[in-house]
Amino acid sequence: MEHYDPSRIGQCISLLFGEHTVYRYGESEVIKFSHVTHLLRDNEINYLRRDIEIGEKYFGEYMVPTRIATRADGKRPVLIQPFVHGRILEKSDLKNPALAQQYRDIINRHRRLLEDGHPAIDLMSGIGFLLGKPRNIYLTDEGMLRLIDVTSVEMFSAPFRAWVERRQSAMLERYVGM
Ligand SMILES: Nc1ncnc2c1ncn2[C@@H]1O[C@H](COP(=O)(O)OP(=O)(O)OP(=O)(O)O)[C@@H](O)[C@H]1O
Ligand SMILES: [Mg+2]
């Protein structure tokens, strides 16, 4: 297991109230520390592995390559990804047919994941759920949609999780006017 190097951690680039604190890592990567999920579940690393595996299986190229690293003592797993040059997808971006088509592809893939019995991926991300905006879908400077975060909602209790999954599916479809 890779150990992250604290001396390579740079500027913080996330909002205060997010679930992760995200920093630049070295020249071209980011490193993500989670605040909540490691408190909610033992064996955090197994859940992270599972989320990454499912993300890769269902979203392929759309998912930003993600790896797990730990502190030198093997504890407190973190996620490391390439730094993506881009920004959060806006609803107005979906007027572009090429982007709308990628977006539909992503939500169709997500529907397949649910049909296969996996917990939803939190595509809206915290405050995005309140705003009806999928904050985990990024638009790169090259005009590609990318998922920057594939955390699943499995840590929620069953009735709440079912409600979140229904609400999210409706919001994702409304965003593109399906
Ligand atoms: N790979 C990346 N490249 C560039 N910026 C990133 C990357 N991953 C995350 N960020 C930045 O950090 C922010 C938060 O990332 P992330 O979604 O992983 O955490 P979060 O806790 O779910 O936050 P939020 O609730 O804002 O979505 C993103 O909105 C983005 O600005
Ligand atoms: Mg997020």
19 CA: nearest ligand 1 atom: 21
pTM of the model: 0.95
Give the closest residue to 38 by CA, choosing from 77, 2, 1, 5. Answer: 77
User: What domains lie within the chain, and their CATH numbers?
Assistant: 6-176 (1.10.510.10)
Q: What's the rounded Cα separation, in Å, for the pair 97 and 136?
A: 20
Encoded tokens for 75? 């504890």
What is the tens place of the pLDDT at every residue in 36-76? 776 767 788 999 999 999 999 999 999 999 999 999 999 89
For ligand 1, residues with CB inside 6 Å are 13-15, 18-20, 22, 30, 32, 64, 81, 83-84, 88, 125-127, 135-136, 148-149
What is the tens place of the pLDDT at every residue in 90-149? 999 999 999 999 999 999 999 999 999 999 999 999 889 999 999 999 999 999 999 999
Strand ranges (DSSP E) for 17-89?
A: 20-25, 29-34, 67-69, 78-82, 86-88
Strand order in the sheet with 145-147: 86-88, 137-140, 145-147
